Structure 1
Amino acid sequence: MNAPNELSMKNDEVLRVELEVFRRQHRDLDAEIAELQLSGGMNQLTLQRMKKQKLRLKDMIARIEDRLTPDIIA
């Protein structure tokens, strides 16, 4: 994943593409976690790693959304 300073150097179009990629990865990981939890065929360490990866993706999504959304002073 990208460092925060790299985020500010990218143009909006690149950020939008990355945002969609991260959103898709997050959804896919969420579905995989849910499926494996239902099947009961996963050890706790693997589950914990997958959840941490999902949180990292969520953080990147939030950073990109913040970068793309202009600050509006009310």
Structure 2
Amino acid sequence: MSLTNHLEELQRKHGDIERKLDQALLHPSVDDLEIIRLKRRKLALKDEMEKLRSDYTTH
């Protein structure tokens, strides 16, 4: 998988999680641990994208 394709896939997953998180926050019955899990996963994807971009620009 090329770097561009990998970044696009990570961005897609990040967007999917962001939409799930937005939906979860609209429903007060959603478990707080689920919201925390989604936020952590979203942040991990963002960190991975930034690392890939940083590694690419330094080589």
TM-score tier, shorter chain, comes to: 0.7 to 0.9
Normalised by the length of structure 1, the TM-score is 0.70
- 1:55 is aligned, of 39, 43, 47, to 43
Equivalence for 2:20: 32
Q: Report the AA paired with residue 28 of structure 2.
A: G
Query: Percent identity of the aligned residues?
Result: 27
**Structure 1 vs Structure 2 CA RMSD:** 1.6
> Which has the higher Rg, Structure 1 or Structure 2?
1
Is 1:22 the counterpart of 2:10? The answer is: yes
Is 1:42 the counterpart of 2:42? The answer is: no
User: Which has more helix, going by share of residues?
Assistant: 2
Gaps of 5+ in 1: 1-12
Gaps of 5+ in 2: none
Q: Matched residues in 2 for 1:41 and 1:17: separation?
A: 36
Equivalence for 1:65: 53
